[in-house]
Structure 1
Amino acid sequence: MPASAAPAYALIATDLDGTLLRGDDSVSGRTRAALGRAAAAGARHLVVTGRPAPRVRPLLRSLGGTGLAVCGQGAQLYDAGADRMLWSVTLDRETAETALGKIEAEVGEVYAAVDQDGVDGRTLIEPGYRMPHPTLPAERVGRRGELWRAPISKVLLRHPRLSDDELAAAARGAVGPLASVTMSGPGTVELQPCGITKATGLALAAARLGLGPGDALAFGDMPNDIPMFRWAARGVAMAGAHPELKAVADEVTTSNEDDGVAVVLDRLFV
């Protein structure tokens, strides 16, 4: 690509788990190099993840990221350089508790966790909840009522018997307009503020950069990436992506373990 040419896509939006990250939470050397070439060509890289900002901060530092990151399924816009939240939306705690009660009325007992709002917010887990990512820190509380002791960005749910797809479908039917239901990875069904998606946060971040949907190339692997794919000019699903995401993707690349993001970037940014 000539030095004066505009990049094929000026905005590269990548999910983290199952997409940019390998199973051990690392970013491969090939992927780092591909992102570096894209940046040299003038493209901006945005992490767009379900992880809350405090759980993204160490990774951004390792990548040398000092710009914006979309966190908490789009409910948080985080400035890594300033280590501050530029925008956030919380899930009303009474609404969350009501939604949980409606879900349990349909499917029986579920186990819950919450991500607290803010750059120093903690992840709290109630008895019986098992973290899907054991490398991420969490604080166990003694009873559910303690989950609501500070503002939250989302609720995470697990069921002892139902599959993620079954739990997500039941939750959507039970909560109605109280909250949005997303599925962001194995063992990760979530309740978030109604109307908030990854596309919400990505659109806000892009606008701050003077960019729009036509500039964006998005990578993901789960149904929570569907709104982002619909917003962006092109959506690329990983080889192991959920069938619902593959159905709306423009392209399917190799897996996260096989540098699927880099495979596409290597083609676009030579």
Structure 2
Amino acid sequence: MAAPIAYSLIATDLDGTLLRGDDTLSDRSRTALAVAATAGARHLVVTGRPAPRVRPLLDELGGQGLAVCGQGAQLYDAGADRMVWSVTLDRELAETALGKIEAEVGDVYAAVDQDGVDGLTLIEPGYEMPHPTLPAVRVLHRGDLWTQPISKVLLRHPCLTDDELASAARGAVGSLATVTMSGPGTVELQPCGVTKATGLALAAAHLGLTRTTTIAFGDMPNDIPMFDWATHGVAMANAHPELKAVADEVTLSNEEDGIAVVLERLFR
């Protein structure tokens, strides 16, 4: 009789975690995920990217199921190309939060991810995309960012580090929004109370799975709530120190197939 699998749900971040720096998935990682799937485990992408920026990657992964996108603000059904659930960031609150942040740290550069399966990423003058492979539309004025419902705001500061900006933003916005840091040059405002953990919990419930059999992989502080929710959290070697501090283990980097190393141990 086959032994029961240790984990029935594998939750993975994308950038800096499952994907290599060039946005590709290695053959070793692809094989490890396939072996886990054969054993009965489900793979769930849990990413800060909005659904439109995830769709091509899910196609490459062969994913036809659910994906948690937009830092937990979107639950996307890849097979049906539709949102199962989404929550937007109130645009007036977003403008107010930006004003409070700028009162503390001076001018910032902002961008937004629009809601929906075809939502655009809009960037104001001065904002530079930290991930150059992701498409964005430059607008002329900040006011142009608010023309359609949004899932989050992305911030950059000309002088402050990501850690400094995130800390200042948390102090400035209070309960207006949740502040996260999801990668180099990526500090974000999202709806208050929304995290990767809330999205992952919702997706797991849809799949009939629980936190007790969930293993999660990540690399940035925005993955901390996901680690808190899952029964086992694995940080990449390239992970932010804050995430490593709460991880149950640390694997190799995303460039060294760190996820595959763990899955090969668990699903032999």
Task: Give the equivalent residue in structure 2 for 1:27.
Answer: 25
3-state secondary structure, aligned to 2:10? strand
- TM-score calculated relative to the size of structure 2: 0.99
3-state secondary structure, aligned to 1:247? helix
Deviation at 1:269, TM superposition (A): 0.4
For 1:110, which of 99, 103, 108 is the aligned residue?
108
Match for 2:243: what amino acid?
A: L
Task: Give the equivalent residue in structure 1 for 2:214.
Answer: 216
Aligned length: 268
For 1:166, which of 161, 164, 167 is the aligned residue?
164
Task: Give the equivalent residue in structure 1 for 2:265.
Answer: 267
3-state secondary structure, aligned to 2:20? coil
Mapped to 1, the partners of 2:73 and 2:192 lie a distance apart of: 10
Task: Give the equivalent residue in structure 1 for 2:10.
Answer: 12
1:170-225 CA-to-partner distances (Å, cap 9, x unmatched) read 00000000000000000000000000000000000000111111010000000000
1:116-166 CA-to-partner distances (Å, cap 9, x unmatched) read 000000000000000001000000000000000000000000000000000
Task: Give the equivalent residue in structure 2 for 1:197.
Answer: 195
Matches within 5 A, 1:41-52: 41-52=39-50
1:94-133 CA-to-partner distances (Å, cap 9, x unmatched) read 0000000000000000000000000000000000000001
Task: Give the equivalent residue in structure 2 for 1:65.
Answer: 63
Deviation at 1:6, TM superposition (A): 2.4
CA RMSD for the aligned pairs? Answer: 0.6
Mapped to 2, the partners of 1:63 and 1:15 lie a distance apart of: 13
Task: Give the equivalent residue in structure 2 for 1:76.
Answer: 74
- Segments of 4+ in structure 1 off by > 2 A? none
Deviation at 1:5, TM superposition (A): 3.1
Match for 1:17: what amino acid?
A: D
Match for 1:220: what amino acid?
A: G
Task: Give the conservation status (yes or no) of the 8 Å contact 1:74–1:202.
Answer: yes
Task: Give the equivalent residue in structure 1 for 2:180.
Answer: 182
1:60-90 CA-to-partner distances (Å, cap 9, x unmatched) read 0001000000000000000000000000000
For structure 2, which runs of at least 5 residues remain unmatched after alignment? none
Task: Give the conservation status (yes or no) of the 8 Å contact 1:30–1:262.
Answer: yes
- TM-score calculated relative to the size of structure 1: 0.99
Amino-acid identity (%): 82
For structure 1, which runs of at least 5 residues remain unmatched after alignment? none
Task: Give the conservation status (yes or no) of the 8 Å contact 1:6–1:42.
Answer: no
